Amino acid sequence: MIKRAMVNRPVAKSIERRSGVSLWRQIADQILHSIAIGDFVENAALPPEMALADRYGVNRHTVRAAIAALVQEGVLRAEQGRGTFVLSRKRLSYPIGARTRFSAGLQGQASERRSVLLEAIVEPASRRVADALKLARGADVIRLEARGEADGQSVSRATSWFEARRFAGIDAAMAETGSITASLERFGVSDYLRQSTVLSARHADAADLADLDLQPGAIVLVTVAVNVTPDGQPIQFAETRFPAERVELKLSAL
Amino acid sequence: MIKRAMVNRPVAKSIERRSGVSLWRQIADQILHSIAIGDFVENAALPPEMALADRYGVNRHTVRAAIAALVQEGVLRAEQGRGTFVLSRKRLSYPIGARTRFSAGLQGQASERRSVLLEAIVEPASRRVADALKLARGADVIRLEARGEADGQSVSRATSWFEARRFAGIDAAMAETGSITASLERFGVSDYLRQSTVLSARHADAADLADLDLQPGAIVLVTVAVNVTPDGQPIQFAETRFPAERVELKLSAL
DNA sequence: TATAGTTGTCTATATCAATAGACAAATTTT
DNA sequence: AAAATTTGTCTATTGATATAGACAACTATA
């Protein structure tokens, strides 16, 4: 009953027409994927446009549109007469575990890593936030909007909520230290754990595109997490968006 | 420096033009997202087409194209003169942890849950597979292709590899028991741990669309995992694709 | 130097995506 | 019963997407 495969060559993925996603966008996504899994190697030349057109069963101009988009994104470089070359570095691998902070654990992967506070706002808690933080609905919470950068590229976009009464001034601490962990220590929280994390994915919306410097049609990984003190008291509720083309999440300490 | 928000209403997400992703597909995705986060409630009517067109800043016919796609997918039902209604159940929440098997932990969420073996093939190990299983490159491995179903809907699509010599006949065990855990027990593996999991997301390719019964443009969550015996010997390497519109991953025991 | 291979640019045409307006058909409200 | 609301269908027009072919510009190689 079991079969034996004769050869072991890469699967030829095909393309969906009249799908609402243009062919050039689908091909651009597949090229990105091929780079990510090491099918197209860094610094090497892509197959010629005619060969790609043949592989995907489309016109050469359609392939050119895909390549143009990736050149625009800084993933490829095209040189007339020579070929098209892969520039992209590998995706950043974010560790996620009970005690892993987002800004930690990236040693060696990116030389410059920082978190930029975009906005701090006091607002009444929505039902979702109130439930997560175990507050009364409508209680004041502080919402922090922050962007994570590595080597000058945007790699994360986080929205997090804290109880306003307990953590008044956390925005200033964040702006100063650039770290949630360091900021929480000023409020007497020396240790905290990741209670739950829920993971999903969707297309980037307009805000994501602007904040993460993405091209339309990009995909974001979304984590929704609740952090608690060791005795189980919720202190932070956070939704973080990661550009799927630049980041993968490594679940550690499982 | 901190600001105070006056009102607390849902953010109006907007739409990207000339992006390679058609407006109707973007709106369909946003409607799915709104349903997933509980913004549009199950069984309730969607806002009228004109209101949606206004919200997204597009023509009514564009909204109609988005709704038509979701009706086709079975997410919405439109009734002339009455309105358009949400049919979709919530997304399935898959637990992932050190000892969590994919087929376990879904009690109460789906009444009927099963795994279907699609194909079993012996092939030489690629570099990726050989590295993960600590085998010589080109050593024989068994590749199993399986689809997970819940309530008649496809919710996962897994490709997994085992060392052929040690696990010869695992395909028959899988077909019989429908469970990886039960099959491994027959080979003397009574316990195993998830050594590592790497998570990413991408657009569904043609194979995913067919296997998971998705519409073009859909997004899949991808987990790549290595399972090991308690003493650290790798036994299974698996890549699993989940339709992001139907599944979220809940990271537990972190 | 000549040739082959590759990317860049142009024109032309057909199809899909989106806008616009009008009205029909069905349902709910007044 | 009449009016208002909502989905369904039709025509027409514009812009983006995709195909096709030809040739220019540049690079590497025989």
A14 sits within 7 Å of strand D by its CB: no
Give the span between the Cα atoms of A35 and A47, in whole angstroms: 12
Rounded Cα gap, residues A66 and B21, in angstroms: 13
CATH number of the domain to which A96 belongs: 3.40.1410.10
Closest CA to A13 of B157, B118, B222, B205: B205
Instruction: Check whether residue A234 and residue A116 sit in a common domain.
Output: yes
Report pLDDT digits (tens) over B85-129: 998 666 666 667 655 444 444 444 544 567 888 989 999 998 889
Which residues in chain B, range 5-64, keep a C-beta under 7 Å from any nucleic strand D atom? Answer: 18-20, 45-46, 48-50, 61, 64
Statement: residue A253 has pLDDT above 70: no
Nearest by CB: B5 against A3, A15, A123: A123
Distance B59 CA to C19 C1' (A): 6
Nucleotides of D under 7 A from a protein CB: 5-10, 16-21, 25-28
Q: Which two tokens stand for residue B79?
A: 């009734």
Identify the pLDDT of residue B91: 67
What confidence category does residue B20 fall into, taking pLDDT thresholds of 50, 70 and 90?
confident
Confidence of residue B177 (pLDDT cuts 50, 70, 90): confident
Q: Residue B207, CB, less than 7 Å from strand D?
A: no
Pair (A99, A194) in one structural domain: yes
pLDDT at residue B205 in the model:
78
Query: What average pLDDT score do residues B40-65 get?
Result: 90
Burial class (CB in 10 A: 0-12, 13-18, 19+), A210: exposed
Judgement on whether residues A182 and A113 belong to the same structural domain of the protein:
yes
> Are B164 and B48 in a shared domain?
no
pLDDT at res. A203: 80
**Which has the higher per-residue pLDDT, A216 or B185?**
B185
pLDDT single digits (tens) A183-223: 888 998 877 777 778 888 888 877 888 888 887 778 899 99
With H, G, I as helix, E, B as strand and everything else as coil, classify residue B166: coil
What CATH number is given to the structural domain containing B41?
1.10.10.10
The pair of three-digit structure tokens given for residue A205, joined into one six-digit string: 């919306």
In a domain, B9, yes or no: no
Q: Has residue A103 been placed in a domain?
A: yes
Residues B99 and B170 in one domain: yes
Residues B139 and B193 in one domain: yes
Q: How far, in Å, are A195, B101, B182 from residue B14 at the CA level?
A: 32, 39, 48
With tokens 């799908």, the residue in question is A19
User: Does residue B135 lie within any of the structural domains?
Assistant: yes
Q: What is the mean pLDDT of residues A160-166?
A: 94
3-class SS of residue A187: coil
Separation of first and last alpha carbons in chain B: 36
Domain boundary among B86, B105, B124: B86
Least confident of A12-26, A173-187, A191-205, B218-232: A12-26
- pLDDT for A101: 46
| Residue A9 predicted with pLDDT over 70 | no
Give chain B's domain count: 2
Interface of B with A in 72-91 (CB under 8 A): 91
Could you say which of B5, B20, B28 has the minimum Cβ distance to residue A217? B20
Look at residue B43 in the predicted model and tell me its pLDDT: 76
Which residues in chain B touch residue A24, judged by CB atoms under 8 angstroms apart?
20
pLDDT (tens digit, 9 = 90+) per residue, A41-91? 777 789 999 999 998 899 999 999 999 988 887 788 999 999 999 986 666
For chain A, give me the number of helices (H) and strands (E)?
A: 7, 11
- Residue A89, pLDDT score: 64
Q: What is the pLDDT of residues B232-242, one digit of tens each?
A: 789 999 999 99
A82 and A98 in a single domain? The answer is: no
B164 and B68 part of one domain:
no
Residue A165 in any domain: the answer is yes
Closest nucleotide relative to residue A77's CA, C1' based: C7
Q: Say if A17 falls within a structural domain.
A: no
pLDDT, residue A40, reads 82
Q: Of B123, B201, B217, which has the smallest distance from its Cβ to A5's Cβ?
A: B123
Q: Is 70 exceeded by the pLDDT of residue B223?
A: yes
A91-108 in b/e form (b: 16+ CB < 10 A) is bbbbebbeebebbebbee
B27 and B57 in contact (C-beta within 8 Å)? no
pLDDT at A16 over 70: yes
Average pLDDT of A89-106?
Answer: 56
Structural domain of residue A196, as residue ranges?
92-251
* Residue B234, min C-alpha distance to chain A (Å): 16
Candidates B21, B25, B197; nearest CB to A251 = B197
Up-side HSE of residue B160: CA atoms within 13 Å toward CB? 26
Q: Calculate how close chain B gets to A128, using CA atoms only, in Å.
A: 9
- Picking from B86, B103, B124, the residue at the C-terminal end of a domain is B86
Mean pLDDT value across chain B? 80
Residues 6+ apart with CB under 8 A from A4: B121, B122, B123
- Domain limit, last residue, from B69, B86, B103: B86
Q: Is the CB of B75 under 7 A from strand D?
A: no
Instruction: Give the CA-to-C1' distance from B53 to C30 in angstroms.
Output: 27
Are residues B130 and B154 both part of a single domain? yes
Distance from CA of A41 to the nearest CA of B (A): 14
| Same domain, yes or no: B167 and B118 | yes
For the residues A1-14, what does the mean pLDDT come to?
A: 50
Which chain A residues are Cβ-neighbours of B3 within 8 angstroms?
119-122
Amino acid A30 CA to nucleotide D19 C1' distance, rounded Å: 21
B132 with B226, same domain: the answer is: yes
Q: Answer whether residue B6 is part of any domain.
A: no
pLDDT at A12 > cutoff 80? no
Separate counts of helices (H) and strands (E) for chain B: 7, 11
Q: Is the CB of A10 under 7 A from strand D?
A: no
C-beta of residue A104 within 8 angstroms of C-beta of residue A178: no
Same domain, A136 and A189: yes
Range of A122-126, B6-10, B69-73, B110-114 with top mean pLDDT: A122-126
Distance (Å) from the alpha carbon of A92 to chain B's nearest alpha carbon: 11
Q: Please indicate whether residue B75 or residue A123 has the higher confidence score (pLDDT).
A: A123
Determine the distance in angstroms separating the CA of A129 from the nearest CA of chain B, rounded to an integer: 12
Mean pLDDT of chain A: 80
Q: Measured between CB atoms, does A171 come within 8 Å of chain B?
A: yes
Residue B3 lies in a domain: no
Q: Is the CB of B152 under 7 A from strand D?
A: no
Query: Which residues make Cβ contacts (< 8 Å) with residue B35, sequence separation at least 6?
Result: B42, B75, B86, B88
Question: Chain B within 8 Å of A121 (Cβ-Cβ)?
Answer: yes
Q: How confident is the model at residue A2 (pLDDT cuts 50, 70, 90)?
A: low
Percent with pLDDT over 70 in chain A: 81
Please report the pLDDT score of residue B7 as a whole number.
Answer: 43
Task: Give me the mean pLDDT over the A218-245 stretch.
Answer: 88
Q: What percent of chain B clears pLDDT 90, i.e. is strictly above it?
A: 29
In a domain, A40, yes or no: yes
Q: What percent of chain A has pLDDT over 90?
A: 29
